[in-house]
Amino acid sequence: MEAEWLAPQLEAGRSIESIARETGKAPSTVAYWVDTHGLASQHAPRHRSTGGLTREQLEPLVAAGLSIRAMAEQLAVSYTTVRHWLRTYALSTPRAQRLASTRAARAAGGDAVVDCPVHGPTAHVARADGGLRCLACRSDAVSRRRRRVKEQLVAEAGGCCVLCGYSESPGALQFHHVDPATKSFSLGAAGLTRSLAKARAEAAKCVLLCARCHAEVELGVKRLPFPPKINGEAVA
């Protein structure tokens, strides 16, 4: 690594770890070239031996839910120093505790039950990146997306019942397939989990009705007052 490139990086306050991540090299390799060129990281004092951390220093930080990186910042030491002393005192960060719960649950054939900031003790599953996902939070996210898609489709369909003009709540508006033979899927809750493009294509086969008018149309009490169109063609 060239001194002409390294020196400005270090002067800008970058750590050896961040330079290593950018260049795809090991931190030890970056550190070797820093020493070879007689340079120094501004973070070097944090990595010097401080005589060790005490349990009394670490326990309040663990109880406060801080990550290892946040502890290192607060104590002005390196990430690896904090990790070493946490292991020495058998202390675990909340994330480490959740991961341990997940591993134990997997070994037992179930989900991990850990604290969620929103829902409290709740079943969690592991994400692809190694983190955890609260099942209740995931369900809430799916519900929010369904509402957003429904609101968008309702707005694109005119925003109101074509029979009575009701428009107060998108949740009370429904998509009625003009020709049941063209129906690929219902635009109820399950249908709204599909891609927006597929949902739009299905909505194009429908007219928008409020729940009451929809029921009455299905029962034959009411009829659509005009020849509805699908893809520009009138449907009897």
pLDDT at 216: 94
pLDDT at 217: 93
Q: Are 120 and 133 in contact (CB under 8 A)?
A: no
pLDDT at 122: 83
How far, in Å, CA of 124 to CA of 115, rounded?
A: 9
Amino acid identity of 163?
A: L
How far, in Å, CA of 157 to CA of 146, rounded?
A: 16
Report residue 31 as tokens. 């550190």
pLDDT at 163: 92
pLDDT at 78: 86
How far, in Å, CA of 36 to CA of 125, rounded?
A: 46
pLDDT at 106: 58
pLDDT at 49: 46
> What are the structural domain ranges in the chain?
3-88, 94-130, 138-234
Q: Is 56 exposed, middle or buried (0-12, 13-18, 19+ CB in 10 A)?
A: exposed
Q: How far is CA 138 from the centre of its chain?
A: 8
How far, in Å, CA of 53 to CA of 60, rounded?
A: 13
> Across the 236 residues of the chain, what is the mean pLDDT of every consecutive 10-residue run?
86 85 83 80 57 85 87 86 89 76 60 77 74 83 90 92 92 91 84 84 92 93 71 49
Per residue, the 3-state secondary structure of the chain, as one string, reads CCHHHHHHHHHCCCCHHHHHHHHCCCHHHHHHHHHHCCCCCCCHHHHCCCCCCCHHHHHHHHHCCCCHHHHHHHHCCCHHHHHHHHHHCCCCCHHHHHHHHHHHHHHHCCCEEEEECCCEEEEEEECCCCCEEEHHHHHHHHHHHHHHHHHHHHHHCCCCCCCCCCCCCHHHEEEEECCHHHCCCCCCCCHHHCCHHHHHHHHCCEEEEEHHHHHHHHHCCCCCCCCCEECCEECC
pLDDT at 73: 87
pLDDT at 110: 54
pLDDT at 101: 65
How far, in Å, CA of 141 to CA of 137, rounded?
A: 6
pLDDT at 172: 92
pLDDT at 167: 92
